[in-house]
């Protein structure tokens, strides 16, 4: 049973990212959308230090571009809404944290 | 796959409703189906027929209505969350003795049971929160 964790807030706005990282298991995936994409800025990189290589990290490029984030952190794979839907199908549950 | 979508953020206050709209369009484009879209908490404002944003901005409630008409979507607004925020259909306006009602034509007011049922009958439930 794998889970897609969706985060839509910056770590400064809410504890959603921190909480989700604690709940994450091997094989799960993380998707940053809306203001959540700001978490890819270098200032927040320590949040991801405990993530294992078995957790795939994605971000919604539509939301990153809308916020002027063009030099994206290479640890995150950029996807569009179609990609979001495909991830929702690939993982058995979608959990939104906010 | 069968999806249901939950929206708990108000349009123009949060991105939730706009994100849910784009996600829903992709779901349908990729050949999946949407069993229900459930608007809860501040998300009920997506069902207002009176929202009148400037013409050069997107009219999120109208875009939901249009998508619902194109794909026969079941757009359900939580009745308890709606009436306390002034989103009423004709029935509720009569019950609370209000002069007008403002629930858009393609939405219906119903209870949380509709969210539970959507969870049971859908392969995936995706929530867009504020």
Q: Please give the average per-residue pLDDT across A42-57, as a whole number.
A: 88
Phi/psi of residue A59, nearest 5 degrees: -140, 155
Mean pLDDT of chain A: 94
pLDDT, one tens digit per residue, over B89-108 is 999 999 999 999 999 999 99
CA distance readout (Å), B63 to A28, A68, B10, B46, B125 = 33, 26, 14, 10, 21
Whether residue A50 has pLDDT greater than 90: no
What residue spans define the domains of chain B?
A: 2-128
pLDDT of B111 reads 97
Residues of A contacting chain B (CB within 8 angstroms): 6, 8, 33-35, 62-63, 80-82, 84-86, 88-89, 93-94, 96, 98
The whole-model pTM stands at: 0.96
Cβ distance B126 to A62 less than 8 Å, yes or no, reads: no
Q: For domain B2-128, is the CATH number 3.40.1260.10?
A: yes
CA dihedral sign, ordered B66, A83, B56, B102: positive
Residue B54 Cα to chain centre, angstroms:
21
Whether residue B8 has pLDDT greater than 80: yes
Which residue is catalytic, options B7, B67, B78, B109?
B78
Question: Taking the CB of residue B6, how many other CB atoms lie within 10 A of it?
Answer: 23
Chain A touched by B31 (CB under 8 Å): no
- Of B22, B15, B109, nearest to B63 by C-alpha is B22
pLDDT of A23 reads 92
Q: Please give the average per-residue pLDDT across B81-94, as a whole number.
A: 98
Chain A touched by B32 (CB under 8 Å): yes
Domains observed in chain A:
3-97 (3.40.1260.10)
Cβ distance A33 to B29 less than 8 Å, yes or no, reads: no
DSSP B3: E
Residues of B in contact with A3 (CB under 8 A): none
Whether residue B74 has pLDDT greater than 90: yes
What ipTM was assigned to the predicted interfaces of this complex? 0.95
> B51 CA to chain A: closest CA distance, Å?
23
pLDDT, one tens digit per residue, over A60-72 is 999 999 999 987 7
- Asked whether the beta carbons of B17 and B60 are under 8 A apart, the reply is yes
Whether residue A31 has pLDDT greater than 80: yes
Give the full edge-to-edge strand order of the sheet including A93-97: A77-79, A56-60, A29-32, A3-7, A93-97
pLDDT of A53 reads 81
pLDDT of A47 reads 87
- What does the alpha-carbon distance between residue A54 and residue B81 come to, in Å, rounded to a whole number? 40
Chain A touched by B25 (CB under 8 Å): yes
- Asked whether the beta carbons of B8 and B129 are under 8 A apart, the reply is yes
Task: Look up residue A53 and give its two tokens.
Answer: 């290589």
pLDDT of B76 reads 98
Verify whether residue B78 is a known catalytic residue: yes
């Amino acid at each position: 049973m794998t889970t897609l964790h969706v985060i839509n807030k910056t770590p400064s706005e809410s504890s959603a990212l921190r909480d989700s990282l604690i709940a994450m298991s091997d094989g799960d995936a993380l998707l940053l959308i809306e203001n959540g994409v700001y978490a890819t800025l270098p200032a927040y990189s320590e949040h991801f230090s405990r993530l294992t290589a078995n957790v795939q990290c994605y971000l919604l490029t539509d939301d990153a571009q809308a916020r002027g984030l063009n030099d994206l952190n290479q640890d995150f794979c950029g996807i569009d809404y179609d990609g979001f839907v495909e991830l929702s199908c690939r993982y058995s549950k979608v959990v939104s944290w906010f | 796959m069968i999806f249901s979508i939950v929206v708990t953020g108000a349009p123009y206050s949060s991105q939730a409703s706009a994100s849910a709209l784009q996600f829903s369009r992709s779901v349908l484009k990729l050949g999946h189906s949407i069993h229900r879209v459930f608007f809860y908490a501040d998300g009920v404002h997506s069902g207002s027929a009176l929202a009148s944003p400037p013409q050069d901005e997107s009219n999120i409630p109208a875009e939901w209505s249009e998508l619902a008409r194109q794909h026969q979507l079941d757009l359900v607004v939580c009745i308890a969350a709606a009436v306390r925020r002034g989103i009423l259909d004709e029935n509720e306006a009569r019950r609370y003795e209000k002069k007008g009602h403002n629930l858009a034509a393609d939405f219906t007011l119903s209870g949380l049971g509709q969210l539970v049922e959507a969870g049971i009958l859908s392969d995936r439930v995706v929530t867009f929160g504020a």
